[in-house]
Amino acid sequence: MKPNKLDLNSVDGTQLNLEALYQIAPSCFTEVKDDKTGELRHVVNFKTLRQLLGDNAVEDADEMYQFTWPGKQEARREAARPTTKTLRPVVEDSVDWEHTQNLYIEGDNLEVLKLLQKSYMGKVKMIYIDPPYNTGNDFVYDDDFAVSQDDYDLFAGDVDELGNRYRKNTETNGRFHSDWCSMMYSRLIVARSLLTEDGVIFISIDDHEQKNIRNICDEIFGESNFVSNFIWEKRLNRENRKEVSSRHDYILCYIKQKSEQQRSLLLLPMNEKALSNYGNPDNDPRGLWKSDPAHAQAGHGTKAQFYTLTAPNGKKHDLPSGRCWLYTEPVMNEAIKENRIWFGKDGNGVPRIKTYLNAKERGLTPESLLFAKDVSTNEIAKNELKRLFDGIAVFETPKPVELLKYFAIIASKSGDIILDFFSGSSATAHAVMQLNAEDCGNRKYIMVQLPEETPEDSEARKAGYDTIPEIAKERIRRAGKKIKEESPLTTQKLDTGFRVFRLADSNFEEVKKAPAEYDQSQLDLFLNNVKSDRTDLDLLFGAMLSWGVQLSLPMTSEEVDGKMIYSVNDGDLVACFADDITENIVKAMADKQPLRVLFRDSCFARDDAKINVFETLKQLLDWSEEEAIKNIKVI
């Protein structure tokens, strides 16, 4: 037996959907012969599925509630379509490459999100995005990645060197709303798969597309998983240029899956005003407490919650009109006996329930109104970024660090991953580092940004920043340095580094012709199809994406018999891409007790050499045939 090829494509979205359906309705699956491969494959028997759904299935109804637009079906197909692209490491742009767990990725965010699926599916706790608001001047992504010369001429200046297209979506465009909806729909479908089950997404938006993004999110995340539509006071001053002075934006919030057992959002820490409500006038040994009403709206209670309450001093307390007690009478009497009900210093006051400061769950519930005094404004954010860049206004519309920090506080804990795939100037990365410095946390971030060029006459371009990622990377460097300088004792272990990756075409040449169609000079493609400009690190990280290994994991290298062996996270993946693999190399790789082993196909001159290595590793690692086939791959 010899090792199989590693599947280098990203996740197939349709396969994910099939697997999810199989978990809940396996009886609607059957097997058919694939016309192309001749092998059997699982397919859905729609007749059986309709029978399982009964009257709850609908097809071609004259009228039904739905939200649609021209291009929606293609956007759904695009979200499911695998990509053959890859992420190339850019070590020279990175900070603290060897130790950091943060990622900065340059490239079209739809392609990047697809590439991250195998490694980060179900692992991201919080997503924040600030997408284009579609004001008529914003860029939208055009998701046709096969760019012809005619297209290039048509969109001159809006195509980067990788063939990514983005263009201004003017109001004269007949598909003005449709193009924007398609762009967001496909990206949010893929992004949802990256969230943990209790993961939360925040989406900044204004009135232009607020109703549409709400409809899209209701479909993708489920209407029942809506958490809140936060209203943020983004500016303090009135603007008299418009019919109505707009001083707010929206931040839409959804959770992947609501739970009855836990809150969708975490509680905010107690502030001084809230703490001032606590005291201990009766010297309760349980510590500081505050009193809250002992009754609630009558509509929330059962029959057993309507009664006359008797205080320890014998005084009778009747319910106010339209109210019921929070507890049934037996539970209330037990609470009174345990001194958890307060009747005032003289014992004659209205009964109130004690809430203790050291209770298991304490804090403040987040509010839907976010005032500028608490989370800052756009103008303040712009000025703060300007000061960070020595007086140069490098970015026009950065979000405030305090605003993004607020969301990280209520949606994440230490160790969580936070993703922003419309990351702009990387205010989100700045906020994550700032919060980690304040609460000694270890949150990790992934920033994704298209290499969009800065305007030619902008201060950023004049200062040498040709693209938005160049601004963002420099911001993270400066912000990290500033945070450490301001708190040198508490930030010694703070991760202010980041690994940079850049979206690129596949590491491998496409081999579409039959061997007979190639001339002699081209036949080596079948022996070594790796592009000539690709390095070992390119191949290693490409394989990590394909095998579902996270890009932030530490790695080491070791030279054996003049060949380099790479180990990711002490054996999560061990690889060698050199020619003429020796027995010493195989033994050195096995000594690392790897979970996965990877070679280049060209490492082996003949098939028998490949088989020998396979069998040797299987024996040294005590793997079964099935384990070896699963864990040993070639590219």
Measure CA of the first residue to CA of the last residue in the chain; give whole Å.
Answer: 16
CA dist 508 and 511 (Å) reads 9
Residue 383 has pLDDT above 80, yes or no: yes
Q: H helices within 25-108, ranges in order?
A: 46-53, 72-80
Q: Are 250 and 229 in contact (CB under 8 A)?
A: yes
> For 193-245, how does the pLDDT look when each residue is reduced to its tens digit (9 = 90+)?
999 999 999 999 999 899 999 999 999 999 999 999 999 999 998 887 778 88
- 156 contact partners, CB below 8 Å, separation of at least 6: none
**Mean per-residue pLDDT for 331-344?**
95
Extents of the domains making up the chain: 9-70, 80-263+364-504, 272-356, 515-634
Instruction: For residue 527, name the pLDDT band (cuts at 50, 70, 90).
Output: low
Q: CA of 276: how far to CAs of 271, 273, 288, 289, in Å?
A: 9, 5, 10, 10
Residue 68's identity, in one-letter code, is T
The tens digit of pLDDT for each residue in 536-550 reads 999 999 999 999 999
Mean pLDDT of the chain: 88
Report the alpha-carbon distance of residue 219 to residue 213 in Å, rounded.
10
pLDDT digits (tens, 9 = 90+) for 151-175: 433 443 444 555 555 667 776 666 7
Residue 43 has pLDDT above 90, yes or no: no
Give percent of the chain above pLDDT 70: 90
Report, at the CATH architecture level, how domain 80-263+364-504 is classified.
Answer: 3-Layer(aba) Sandwich (3.40)
Residue predicted with more confidence, 518 or 286: 286
Q: How confident is the model at residue 631 (pLDDT cuts 50, 70, 90)?
A: very high
Please provide the DSSP assignment of 214-264 as one string: HHHHIIIIIGGGEEEEEEEE--SS--TTSSS---EEEEEEEESS--SSS-S
Reported residue count of the chain is 635
Cα 327 to Cα 152, 323, 352: the distances in Å are 70, 12, 12
